[in-house]
A and B are shown apart, each in its own frame.
Chain A
C-alpha cells in the first residue's frame, strides 16, 4: 500500500523590533552578556505592568498581509501558565482566544498551504547548565522578546514541501523587514502523521518540537514517515499521540518525557492588557508601509528601462533592490546604477565571498557620479569600489590620496607624452611609416605612466599632435 504524509507546522519567528514586547529593554539583537538586557518587568518582579510594543503589533499585521491572512481588528492577549525557571512570571503572554491574523495561505506553485493563524507572544529565557558544578543558570535576555507563531493547516504532503515553504517564509519575512530570521531564530514544531494514499482520515500524530535546521527537519520527517509506516504495516510499535524530539547525533526521534507535555496551561485573558483595536486607519497605514513584492518591483524596474532578466535579479534580493532604489533616488541613471550593482558590486561580492550586498548607497552613488561626470575613469571607479568593499573608505578622500582624478594637469600629461615619445624611438618611427598600430602602443605607454589617470581623449589628442609635429 502507498502512504502519504500529512504535516502541519508551527513556526516561531523573532520580530525585528527595537525593544521587547512589553518593556523597553532592547530587542533580539542587543544583548551580549547573560542578563545584560533585563529590567524588573521582563524578570518578573512584582509591581511592573506590561505595556504593549506597538511596532510588534504592526509587524505581526504585516506578516498577516504577506501570508494573505484576514486581520482581526479586535485582538487580545492571554496568559499561559506553567512553571519553568526560564519563565520569570511563570506565565507567558500569548494570544489564545483572539489571534491577530487568521485564515491565510502560502502559494508553493503547484499547491497552496493554508495558514490557520498567526499570533503574537513573548519568548522565554534560557537555561545554561554547568556540568562541572552541577548548577543551572538563568539568562533572561531573551525573555519577552516578541515572536510570532505561524500555524499552518496540515496541508503538507512531503518533506520537500515543508522545506520549500520554510525557505519562502524566510525570504518573505526578511523582505518585508518583519524578521531577520537569523540562524536559530526561526523554530518549528512539526506535526506529522501518515495515512494510506486517498484516505481522508488522519493517522496518529506525533509532534517533533523545537527544530531550527532545515536539513534536520527534513531528516526528522523522513525518519518519522518510516517509523509510522513500519508501525502500521509491520506492527513494530503501537503508535500513540505524543511529543518527540530529534536527536541529531543518533539521527532519530525520541519521545519526550510525558511530564513535559501533559501540562494544562490554564489560559485566560490577561486583565493587565486592554484588547487591541486596529482601526481602519491604522490598518491602512500598515498596509501602505508594506514593501512592494519582488514581482511588483521587477515590473517597475523594467518600466525604468532595465532588461527583464536584470530587473528580476535586482528585485529578488532585498539588499540589491534597496541599494538600487536608493542610488537611483540620489540621482543616478537607472541603467547605469543597475550595471554597477549587477556587474561591479556583484563581482566584488564574488571576489570577497560575500553573501549579501553591504555598501552605503551614498558611496556607490558618488562613485557612479564621478565616473559618469568624467572626474575619474571607469577603471579608477572600480578601484575605489574595491577599496570601499574592503575597507569602507571615503570615496572622495580615496581619489584624492591616490591621485585618481582624470582631470590632472594637462602640462603633466604633455610632459609624459613627450617622455614616452623620447623613450620609444622605434614605435615613433613605425608610426611615421604609416603603422597605425604603433599609435596604440604609445597610447598604452602613456596610460601606464599616468597609472590610468587622465582623460583618454585628451591623451590621444596630445599624442597625435606631438607625433605630427
Chain B
C-alpha cells in the first residue's frame, strides 16, 4: 500500500477521493488550504457504502479541489507518471490495490484519469447521487461517480450510493436506482460526434474506431453525427464551473479553519496572504476567471450567456439521444501527456475539456471505459454499462 494520502483501513476495498469527506479523517482536497482539516461528518455516499458492508481503505490523492483536469496540481504529491498524480484513485484501481473508488467529477478529471490508467469511471446522471459531504466546487454539474476495473463492479457500487437524500437540495426524488448489465446491445444505435472525433490525434482516433468495431460486433449500429456546439459547451462549462468554484472556495479564507498565514496586520492582509500562500496556481486562475465572469457589466455576456448556452446544448444533445442510445467520443485528445507548467496550466486544462464538457454541462451520464467515453440520456446508465460489459466480454 502506502499510496493513500490517508490510510483508513488496510483491509478495505474502496478508496475515496480526497474531495469527499470521511468523518474524522483529514480531507485536504489536494490543497494546502485544508492541510489539517478534519471533517465532523461523512459524505452520504460514504455512509451508504459503509452501511452496505464496504470497508473504506483510504483517501486517494486528487488535483487541487478536483479542478485540475489532468490531476497534476495536488499540493501533497508532485506529478510522477503519465496523466496521474501519485496515489490517485484511477491508478490505485489499475494497480489492483483496491477494487473500486468513488470520486467527484466536476470537470471530467476522473473520466480522463481512468482513461489514461486503463480503468473505468462513471459519472451518473446529475441528482442521482447525493453531493452531501463533498468539498463542492461547481454545484450545478459536479457528481459523485465510481472508479472500477469492470462494468460489473461499477454497477454494484453505483447501486449502493445512488438514491434520494433529503440533505441535498439537488438530489432527485427517486429513492433507489436499479442498474443492469443485460440490456440488449444488439438493437442499439450508437453515434460518434464528428466534431470531437476530429479533434483527437491518430492514436485516439484508432481507439475510437476499434471500440466502434467491437460495438458493431455485438450487433449494434454505429454512425457519425454532427453536433455544432461542442466548443460553446466547453466555454460555457468553463465559465459556469469557474464562477461557482470561485464562490465556493471563497469560504476558505483563513478565518475559521484551514491554513492561516502566520503574520498579518489586519483582516484584509489575513485574507490575501492566507489565500495567496495556500492556493495553487490553477485554483488562483480559476478564482480570478470566476470573479470576472460574475462581475458587474460582465454577468450578462458571460455567466448569464453560459446559462443560456447550457440550455441550447442540452436541447441539441437530447435531440441526438432521441435517435441514438449512446454517443461515443474520446475522453481526451491524446494517449500520452507531458506534465504542464504553471503558466500554461489554465489554458491547457481548458483546451482538453472539450471532450469532457458535454456530460458536465448537461448533467447526462457518461462512462469512461477502455479509453473512450460513452454518453447516454438521463437515467440510462444501464445502457452505458451494458455496452461496456458487452465489449469487455468480446475481449475476454
Contact = CB atoms under 8 A, between A and B. Distances in A.
Interface string B330-363: 0000000000000000000000000000000000
A274 to B, nearest CB: 6
B169 A272 contact: yes
A91 B256 contact: no
16 contacts: A44-B251, A46-B21, A46-B34, A47-B132, A47-B134, A50-B169, A51-B166, A81-B247, A85-B253, A88-B256, A138-B255, A264-B296, A268-B299, A271-B244, A272-B170, A274-B170
Interface in B235-254: 243-244, 247, 250-251, 253
A52 to B, nearest CB: 7
A88 B255 CA distance: 8
Contact of B135 (A47, A264, A267, A269): A47
B70 interface: no
Nearest to A43: B256
A271 B140 contact: yes
Interface residues of B, number: 41
Given A83-B253, A264-B295, 15 more contacts: A40-B40, A46-B34, A46-B37, A46-B39, A47-B21, A50-B169, A88-B255, A90-B247, A91-B251, A138-B255, A268-B294, A271-B139, A271-B170, A272-B169, A273-B169
Nearest to B258: A46
A51 B247 CA distance: 18
Given A83-B271, A268-B243, A51 B251 contact: no
Most buried by A among B27, B40, B169, B243: B169
A43 to B, nearest CB: 6
Contacts of B40: 40, 45
Contacts of B267: 85, 136
B19 to A, nearest CB: 9
B391 to A, nearest CB: 35
A438 interface: no
Contacts of A50: 169
Interface in B37-65: 37, 39-41, 43
A469 interface: no
A51 B166 CA distance: 8
A15 B138 CA distance: 31
B123 interface: no
A136 to B, nearest CB: 8
Interface string A24-60: 0000000000000000100111111111100000000
A318 interface: no
Interface in B89-135: 131-135
A410 B135 CA distance: 82
A50 B166 CA distance: 10
A91 B168 CA distance: 19
Interface string A179-199: 000000000000000000000
Contacts of B271: 83
B303 interface: yes
A46 B30 CA distance: 14
A266 interface: yes
B291 interface: yes
Contacts of B296: 264, 266
A268 B294 CA distance: 7
A278 interface: no
Contacts of B257: 45
Contact of A90 (B41, B43, B251, B303): B251
A50 B132 CA distance: 10
Given A44-B256, A47-B41, A47-B132, A83 B250 contact: yes
Nearest to B292: A266
A268 B131 contact: no
B136 interface: yes
A308 B247 CA distance: 59
Interface SS of A by simple majority: loop
Contacts of B168: 49, 51
A89 B253 CA distance: 9
A153 interface: no
Contact of A266 (B43, B253, B291): B291
Question: What are the 10 A-B residue pairs with the smallest beta carbon separation, nearest first?
Answer: A271-B140, A90-B250, A266-B294, A271-B139, A46-B135, A47-B133, A44-B251, A89-B251, A47-B21, A272-B139
Nearest to A274: B169
A79 interface: yes
Contacts of A81: 247, 250, 294
Interface in B1-60: 21, 27, 29, 34, 37, 39-41, 43
B316 interface: no
Interface of B: 21, 27, 29, 34, 37, 39-41, 43, 131-136, 138-140, 166-170, 243-244, 247, 250-251, 253, 255-257, 267, 271, 291, 294-296, 299, 303, 307
A89 B170 contact: no
A90 B244 CA distance: 13
Nearest to B243: A268
A51 B169 CA distance: 6
Contacts of A79: 247
B271 to A, nearest CB: 6
Interface residues of A, number: 31
B172 to A, nearest CB: 10
Given A264-B295, A268-B243, A268-B299, A49 B250 contact: no
A259 B367 CA distance: 49
A49 B255 contact: no
B41 A40 contact: yes
Contacts of B169: 49-52, 272-274
B167 A45 contact: no
Interface in A256-270: 264, 266-270
A52 B167 CA distance: 10
Contacts of B251: 44, 46, 88-91
A277 B307 CA distance: 20
Contacts of B21: 46-47
Given A83-B271, A90-B250, A90-B251, A49 B131 contact: yes
Contacts of A271: 138-140, 170, 244
A88 B251 CA distance: 6
A274 B126 CA distance: 13
A5 to B, nearest CB: 30
A44 B40 CA distance: 12
Given A45-B39, A46-B135, A268 B247 contact: yes
Contacts of B256: 43-45, 88, 138
Interface in A50-106: 50-52, 79, 81, 83, 85, 88-91
Contacts of A269: 307
B9 to A, nearest CB: 21
Contact of B132 (A44, A49, A90): A49
Contacts of A51: 166-169
A47 B255 CA distance: 17
Contacts of B247: 79, 81, 90-91, 266, 268
A89 B250 contact: yes
Contacts of A270: 139
Nearest to B138: A271
Identify which of A89, A91, A272 gathers the most chain B CB atoms within 10 Å of its CB.
A272
* Central interface residue in B131, B135, B247, by most chain A CB within 10 Å: B247
A91 B134 CA distance: 18
Contacts of B294: 81, 266-268
A43 B39 CA distance: 13
A88 B133 CA distance: 17
Contacts of B243: 268
Contacts of A273: 169
B66 to A, nearest CB: 12
B225 to A, nearest CB: 30
